[in-house]
Each structure stands twice: as C-alpha cells, then as structure tokens.
Amino acid sequence: MKRRDFLRNTGWFAVGAALVGIPGCGDNSSPDDAPTPEAVGTYTFPQGVASGDPRASSVVLWTRVELGAGGSPLYGAITFRVQVSAEANFHKLVVDLPVVAAAPADHTVRVLVTELAPATTYYYRFVAGQDVITGRTRTAAAADADVQVNLAWVSCQDYSAGSYGAYRQMLVDDAARPDADKIHAVVHLGDMIYETRNIGFQTAIDEEFRTIDLKNRDGSPRVIAPFPSDTAGTAPGAFARTVDDYRHLYKTFLSDPDLQAARAAWPFVAIWDDHEFTDDCWQSQANYDDAASLDEPSQTRKMAASQAWFEYVPVQLSGSVGVSGVPAEAHDFFAAKVENKAFTAPNDDNFVDEPNNAAAVGALTIYRSLRFGKHVELVMTDERSYRSDHAIPEDAAHGAGFFAPRNAVPLDLVAIFDQGKTFAGGHPIDPIPFAGRNLDNVRKASPPGTMLGAKQKAWWKATMKGSDATWKLWGNEVSLMRIRITPLGAGDGNRVLSADAWDGYPTERSELVTFLKDNAIKNVVVLSGDIHASFAGVVMDNPDLPVPQQQAVATELIAAGIASNSLFSFFEFATRSGPGAALRPLITLNATAAGLPKFTENFNLLLSGGTNAAGLFAGTLNLSQALQIADPDTNKHLKYIDTNAQGYGYVKVNGTQVAAKIITINRPIAAPTDAGPGIKRTASFTIPKDNPGMMSAATFTGTKPFPLG
C-alpha cells in the first residue's frame, strides 16, 4: 500500500504550519482533492472537534464528518479542509490544506500540525463545502520555560448514569479564572466510554438511589441504542463486540454537547482504562463472570476496541518524543487478524504469549510522556494491556463474603496470591486456609503480579529518573495508595478497598515506590481516577509497616468520575440484601434524627476512623463520641475522603508547589443547562516542593463531606 493511500485509509495526516500561499509541506492529498462549492448543510460534524497531545511545537487535531441529514455510513471518501490560525477570526492562516475522511476510518480525521510556536493558543476549523466547525487548542510551553502549568484531570463518564455537566462546570469555572490560571490541557485517565448498555450500574440513580430516566438537553431520552451487531433473532447485546459496536459507543458518547464543548476548548491528553475495552480487563481477557473458568478470551474485542479508540481519540503515538535518552515506545494502531483463543499460562514477565493475545495487545501502544515547560513531565501509563490477572481468582473470591470479587477483599489473601512463587522467601502456601475452607493456590508457580508489565515498567523507571522537570505528574488510571478497611467483625482481618487498583498488585507498587525513594526522585504527584470517589493523600514507602516507621515518597490526588455512579452508591447497593446486609450501617444509615441526611455516608467514617467508630455512630448517631474513638491510623496517609461524588480535578504547578483542587459537582442528573450543575464542594490542597509529607490538609468551600461537615 502506498503511504498516501495508507494515510487516507486511517484518516491520519501530518502538516507543517506555513503561511497561506506557500505550498503545503506535508500535504498528503493530491491537487485534484480540492472541494467544490456545495449548499450549507451538505455536511455535518456530529461528534464535534477535538485536539490532543499538545507539545511545544505540535498538536493533533480531530474531527469526524458525515453527509448531512444523517448521512449513510456506507458512502466513500469526503475531501474537505483544515485551517489553523493564531487569531480567533482566522484572518491569517498558518495551515490551509485538504484532508480526506475515509470510510475505513469511520470518516474520522486526525491531523498532526507541526512547526507551531510554544505556549500559544491556536484556533482551528474544518471546512467541508459551506459547513464549518471550529475549535481552540494550545501548545505546551518550551521545556526550559519557567512558567506555571494548569491542568485539569478527569475520568469515568458513563453516558447512561448522568449528564456531562462536569465538563460544563469546567468551562464555567475556567471562564471565571484569571488568565494566568486558565486550564492549558485536560488529562483524561480513561473510561471515556463504557462498553456495556442497560445492565448493572449503567443506569442513573437519584439522591435516594432509585433508578431514574435521564434526558438530554433536547429532551430526548439519554439512552444508548442497540449495538450494530444486534441482529434479528439474537438477544440484545450487553456489551460491545465488534469495531462497529465500539464506534457506535464513541459516536453516542461524543454527541454530548458539554463534552463536545470541552474537547473544542482544550487539548486532551488521554489514556484508556478498562471500559474502553471491557470491565476490569487484563491483557485481552474479559472478567464478566465470577468463575475464572468462565472468563472470556476476547482478542477480537481487544483489537476492535483499540481501533475505535485510535480513530476517535486524538493522540500522537508513532513519532512522539519523551524524555531525552529514553526511547519512545508508543505507536499507532495497526490491525492484525486475531481469533479468540483460550489463554495459556503467563511467562516469567507475567505476559500471556498466546499469539492472538500478543497480536491484540501489540496492535497499539499508548504509554508516553509529554513535557510542559520547565516544571512538568506528564507520564501516562497503560495499566490494562500488560497487567497480570487479578490477585484473587474470581472463583476463589465468589461466596467468601466479599462485596464483589475485587472489592473489600482480605489484605493478607491478596499478598499471598500476588507474591506468587516468591511468597515467604519462595515457600508459597498451598492450600491456603481461609474462612473455614482451603483455597487452591493457583499462583504458587507464578511470578509476582504486575500492573505495568516488564517493558513498560522499565520505561516508567527510566522516564521518572531521566526527566529533569521539577515535578513528575503521573497520569495513573487506578488508585495507588493503600486504602484499608479495618476488620468488619470477629475473626475478620484488614481488607483493601479495591483489588482492581494497585492494592491488588502490592508487590509491584512496592517496587516502584522503592525505586523512587532509592533514586531520590522527588516531587512525584500521582493523578488518578477510576474509583468513582475523591481521595487525596501521601504515598508511603511501605504501608505494611507500623505508621511511625513509614516514609512519605509521593502524593496522590484522586478525582471522582465525570458522570458515573459513585463508589458509595455501589456499596449502598451491595448492602441492600444478601451477605452484605449486616454491614449496611457501616456504609449508610438514616441519620435524619441527628440532623443529617437520610443516606449519610458512614462509609467515609469507616475509611477515615475505622470500623469501631463507624459502628458506634451507626448505633448511637452520636458523631462526637464516634470521632473520639476513631483510630487515626486507619488510613492516616489520607488527607481527604469523599466516596459519594462526581466532578473533576485541577492543578496549578510552578517551581515551588502544586496547588490542587478536587471539585465535586451537584449530582448530574437534572436537565443540563449552560450554567452547569453547580459546585457542591471544593477541597483544596498544597504540596510543597521536595516534601510530600507536608501536603496540606484539605480546606473547603461549600459543604464538607461527612463526617467533616
């Protein structure tokens, strides 16, 4: 295939900024591609525009074009133009070149614009006939520029669980900020789509956790239509299976006007988490069933999901440059034929060498770093494609009194399984006595668990060590800090909140944190999402040591999801009936008699003060007495806990400190408006240079979360 044809078929173009009238360098189109005049409305841009991966001299621009009046997906190529200017009125263009939207790329177009000026706002537009759509972007500051960098970070935008009012709130908030504090870029930590429709928690709930029907701005029901793969004579699909299914989800999610407005306003730096492929996935394996034997090898779905992500998310992968001396490993999507084959045992790097798995995972590599001035290295990792299976096998967890196979699981059991053949100096326990039964130690011959995989981990270490930026901001999908639940009853031990997060991979977490400490790599701030709750705190070197012996190594800021139902709502649902019902008062209770809400978030007190404090409050509604007996060592490293939240995070970074805000919006279930949903609370923190242990306690505007309020 000729290079020009390849570029056209993938919707990928590279252009250098030049004055109008100079022949377009990097023009991938032929002279006969020039569009002819057509009537207004001939074309539409139903998913808006976007930009991504801003660097000091380049940025990626994106759009998708259709024929007007809901044009058929079967039509051929559409030639139109991309224009870029440093002026909002486009009086003087630096780019004016034809591009082609081709059917093989679902009529998406991605344009890498190079030779731009650093720290500069640019305006861009796509022109198809008489139809025009416009966006704004901004390049990063030069690597030696001593400037403040302002970033927002987001995750988890379940279309069916709420509106995208958090994005509208970001726009409203940013309009009120002084120019020096306005957002330069948005870091998206994954779950841009959810691969399921109309099952489980993919529905909206109100303040009393009842299912409600959402409406879009135009009054239409906010629902996801059936997948293209759903055909007559088959049951409606619960999850995406084909590339057209995943494209269907991106088209639906990106139709939201508030998300479109945010993508048109700022460049995004995106990574994926699980729902871009499949819930709680690892490599190309699904985890929809509690029984490990019923997990679904999903190599064809992984390939389809990666293709759709690459088509709809503007990123620069092939040709990207990271830290000096550290080879960049990111590369663009390239399809390969795969089949769904049963998984084999992982190799010594914990990767499954089965050829279809290797091909599906290797089709797209997205981990990369970006530099923003003198003070920020943004390090984005992929924590799904190379991770090993979850520490506790689903069939072992099933029926053991857990809230779910990967939530509120025993800390000691995670450690035994995660350490594999290295446990107890190479003497793993088998069988493992637990809850009155013996569990087969299926990890007794396995290497310790991994989240990053050997190759990405080596790249992460080299990037962290090699960067000379003042601050290393780690774009990390899942929570890094230990979040402990103290024993829930007699005979119980400590539990970890989520074994799908780093708490399920503690051996590798210890390795990474020890690497930072041993190499004196300071000023690491971890930006996280995924867990549908807000936390902030200090990352300790060894959370298994007594608290006085632990050392602060980094800090972590976790912002709740854009729209997804909260962590609190998940535990509220899990304790309505069944084995979890006895624990419900530790999660929520009606505290109106004490002047508190009908669904008071006692879960927050459980995580901040321990089981005894939460239990005393549940029995007496006397908060002052409960706080008096709270155990300060429960999660002493945490500065902030809010398990019932939606919103976004915002950081300002300079040479001396990081100033951070975690913004909680009013639950986004009301009809969307231009004013946004409004802010429920803002928690603010400062992190001083070279001293993570001195991260400030939260200061608040708005209502404080229970038990603080």
Tens-place pLDDT, residues 616-641: 999 999 999 999 999 999 999 999 99
- Return d(Cα 74, Cα 155) in angstroms, integer: 33
How far is residue 167 from each of residues 63, 70, 224, 303, measured CA to CA in Å? 19, 26, 20, 29
Angle at CA of residue 537, ends 449 and 181, nearest 5°: 115
Q: What is the pLDDT of residues 434-470, one digit of tens each?
A: 878 888 999 999 999 999 999 999 999 999 999 999 9
Q: Between 233 and 690, name the one with better pLDDT.
A: 690
- Return d(Cα 251, Cα 156) in angstroms, integer: 17
Residue 450 in tokens: 């991994």
Give the mean pLDDT of the chain: 92
Under 8 Å between Cβ of 234 and 245: no
Interacting residues of 118 by C-beta distance below 8 A, sequence separation 6+: 56, 57, 139, 140, 141, 142, 145
**Run of H or E including 191:** none
Burial (Cβ within 10 Å: 0-12, 13-18, ≥19) of residue 302: buried
Q: How confident is the model at residue 34 (pLDDT cuts 50, 70, 90)?
A: very low
Q: How confident is the model at residue 293 (pLDDT cuts 50, 70, 90)?
A: very low
Q: Which residues pair with 109 in a beta bridge?
A: 63
Nearest by Cα to 480 from 550, 538, 533: 538
**Res 20: pLDDT:** 41
Nearest by Cα to 529 from 149, 54, 157: 157
Residue 549 in tokens: 């012996």
- Return d(Cα 662, Cα 646) in angstroms, integer: 10
- Return d(Cα 26, Cα 23) in angstroms, integer: 9
Prior bond to 431 cis, omega within 30? yes
**Res 214: pLDDT:** 94
**Res 485: pLDDT:** 97
For the segment 484-500, the average pLDDT, to the nearest whole number, is: 93
Percentage above 90 pLDDT, the chain: 83
State the number of CA atoms in the 13 A half-sphere of 289 facing the CB.
9
**Res 72: pLDDT:** 54
Longest distance between any two alpha carbons in the chain, whole Å: 79
Prior bond to 35 cis, omega within 30? no
Expressed in angstroms, the distance from the first to the final Cα of the chain is 64
Under 8 Å between Cβ of 706 and 680: no
**Position 74 pLDDT exceeds 80:** no
Under 8 Å between Cβ of 274 and 281: yes
How far is residue 541 from each of residues 480, 524, 553, 631, 635, measured CA to CA in Å? 12, 13, 6, 21, 14
Q: What is the DSSP track for 528-564?
A: E-SSSSEEEEEEES-TTS-GGG--EEEEEEEPPPSSS
Q: Determine the 3-state secondary structure of 578 from DSSP.
A: helix
**Position 3 pLDDT exceeds 60:** no
Q: What is the pLDDT of residues 39-64, one digit of tens each?
A: 899 999 999 999 999 999 999 999 99
Under 8 Å between Cβ of 341 and 301: no
Residues counted in the chain: 709
Q: What is the sign of the dihedral through the CA atoms of 290, 296, 301 and 305?
A: positive
Q: Determine the 3-state secondary structure of 60 from DSSP.
A: strand
**Position 32 pLDDT exceeds 70:** no
Strands 699-702 and 211-212: unpaired
Q: How confident is the model at residue 197 (pLDDT cuts 50, 70, 90)?
A: confident
* pTM exceeds cut of 0.75: yes
Most confident of the ranges 33-37, 64-68, 283-287, 365-369: 365-369
**Res 6: pLDDT:** 47
| Buried-state track 54-66, b at ≥16 Cβ within 10 A, e below 16 | bbbbbbbbbbbbb
Q: Between 41 and 502, name the one with better pLDDT.
A: 502
- Return d(Cα 641, Cα 707) in angstroms, integer: 10
**Position 194 pLDDT exceeds 90:** yes
Under 8 Å between Cβ of 139 and 54: yes
User: Looking at residue 365, what DSSP letter applies?
Assistant: B
Angle at CA of residue 251, ends 249 and 254, nearest 5°: 100
Rg (CA), the chain: 25
**Res 394: pLDDT:** 73
| Buried-state track 473-498, b at ≥16 Cβ within 10 A, e below 16 | bbbbbbbbbbbbbbebeeeeeebbbb
Q: How confident is the model at residue 230 (pLDDT cuts 50, 70, 90)?
A: confident
Q: Name the residue with tokens 């509220």.
A: 572
Q: Which residues pair with 150 in a beta bridge?
A: 652
Interacting residues of 70 by C-beta distance below 8 A, sequence separation 6+: none
Q: What is the dihedral of CA 316, 318, 320, 324, to 10 degrees?
A: 160
- Return d(Cα 494, Cα 517) in angstroms, integer: 26
**Res 234: pLDDT:** 56
**Res 1: pLDDT:** 36
Under 8 Å between Cβ of 602 and 623: no
User: Looking at residue 452, what DSSP letter applies?
Assistant: S
Q: Determine the 3-state secondary structure of 46 from DSSP.
A: coil
- Lowest-confidence range among 13-27, 179-193, 647-661? 13-27
State the number of CA atoms in the 13 A half-sphere of 298 facing the CB.
26
Q: How confident is the model at residue 534 (pLDDT cuts 50, 70, 90)?
A: very high
- Return d(Cα 80, Cα 125) in angstroms, integer: 11
Residue 257 in tokens: 């006007």
- Return d(Cα 623, Cα 617) in angstroms, integer: 6
| HEC assignment per residue over 465-476 | HHCCCCEEEEEE
**Position 400 pLDDT exceeds 60:** no
Under 8 Å between Cβ of 351 and 283: yes
- Return d(Cα 186, Cα 268) in angstroms, integer: 5
- Return d(Cα 270, Cα 267) in angstroms, integer: 10
